[in-house]
Structure 1
Amino acid sequence: MTKAISLALIVGGIVLLYFGGQAFNSVSSDVARFFTGSPSNKAIMLIVGGVVATLAGITGMALSGRKR
């Protein structure tokens, strides 16, 4: 994995985490939490996607430096 792709994954993951946090605190998530006890699926998927993308980017950055 090249450093550019890894950096793009990190930035994209951070953006997804931001939007996931916004969705988690939204009115629709509050309504879903009231009836189901858990936040909306959109908020959960954005946060999980952000974590996965950020970890993949960090792993790619760490591995691309070792191959030399």
Structure 2
Amino acid sequence: MQISRTGTVLTGEHTSWTISVHDDSAGETGGYFLCLLLDELHGFDSWFETIEQLEREISEFDVRWD
């Protein structure tokens, strides 16, 4: 699975967390993953069927993309 983008959340509840977007639209799941990680033990991910759903979720975060 290819990582499309990574960055750091700048404000809000998840300030300083790492954010990454994984494009699996042509792969096994046919969708997109959004991962938020505080460290190796703490984080969560979400799966989205469409790019529009993913973009709506990402718009909720203030992110500095790498």
TM-score (norm 2): 0.28
Q: Judging by fraction of residues, say which structure has more strand.
A: 2
Which is bigger in relative contact order (C-alpha 8 A, separation at least 6)?
1
Q: TM-score, normalised by structure 1?
A: 0.27
Name the structure where helix makes up a greater proportion of residues. Answer: 1
- The structure having more radius of gyration, on CA atoms, is 1
